[in-house]
Amino acid sequence: MPSAVAAAIRRTLLPVDSVQDMCSFLHMPTNLALDDRLLNEALRLGGHRTKKATVTEALEEYIQRRKQLGILELFGTIDYYPDYDYKKARHRR
């Protein structure tokens, strides 16, 4: 019975014939029509050597900024104890 389960699992997984297939699956090329003016300015400001590095960093910064905005929405929604002495808690031993 375990071999039947293993065979069923193998059938449901994405078939990967080689390392090349896996790399193609994980790193699919993407064609984008980007504004050359914006890309060149970002390339210059960021000091990157390639457009790919520039776009990657821009996406990372975009994601970070969006997460920060999500955190800002939490302000005023979390209850706290006004008497809590955080300085005293630092020196607990």
Q: Got the DSSP string for 15-83?
A: P--SHHHHHHHHS--------HHHHHHHHHHHT-SSHHHHHHHHHHHHHHHHHHHHHHTTTTTS---TT
Can you give the pTM of this predicted structure?
0.53
56-88 per-position pLDDT tens digit: 999 999 999 999 998 888 888 888 788 888 888
Predicted confidence at residue 38, as pLDDT, reads 96
Full residue range of the structural domain in which residue 36 is found: 2-90
Number of domains in the chain: 1
7-53 per-position pLDDT tens digit: 655 555 545 555 555 555 566 678 889 999 999 999 999 999 999 99
Predicted confidence at residue 34, as pLDDT, reads 93
